[in-house]
Amino acid sequence: MTTAYAFILDGYTFPRADVPARGPIVYHQPQNWSEQDIVGSTTTGATVLTFLGLKSQQWTYVSRAVTATKDKLLAVYNAHIPVVMKTPQDGTGVNVVMTELEIQYIEPIEDGKFLCTFTLMRR
């Protein structure tokens, strides 16, 4: 049995064929570490790790999007403000910022769709 999840970004529900991700999203907080080798040490494992803090989680998606979806992605990217991405396990959604958007071609490719790659960062 397959469960269909809606992909909703800033109130826009992606059409079923444009959905870049299906299923619950795994939330985690990436860690930021610094690694330094000890000068003059001949033993293995002579590395000092320093915890620098936590980073924001980010997701990279690929969508074969119709014109309306492409236009919505452009609007979100050009706005430079946090928007809400609703996930199946969280009905209120999470705030994200689109940090990267690449639309492969000016003209649509097969089936009148655009190849869009975008990155969302959790805020």
The pLDDT value given to residue 120: 94
The pLDDT value given to residue 41: 67
Residues 13-39 have a mean pLDDT of 84
∠ CA 75-81-86 to the nearest 5 degrees?
80
The pLDDT value given to residue 1: 40
pLDDT cut 90: percent of the chain above it: 44
Domain positions in the chain are 8-24+57-122
On whether the CB atoms of residues 97 and 76 are closer than 8 A, the answer is no
Give yes or no for residue 106 having a pLDDT over 90: no
Q: How far apart are CA 15 and CA 8, in angstroms?
A: 10
Would you place residue 91 in the very low, low, confident or very high pLDDT band (cuts 50, 70, 90)? confident
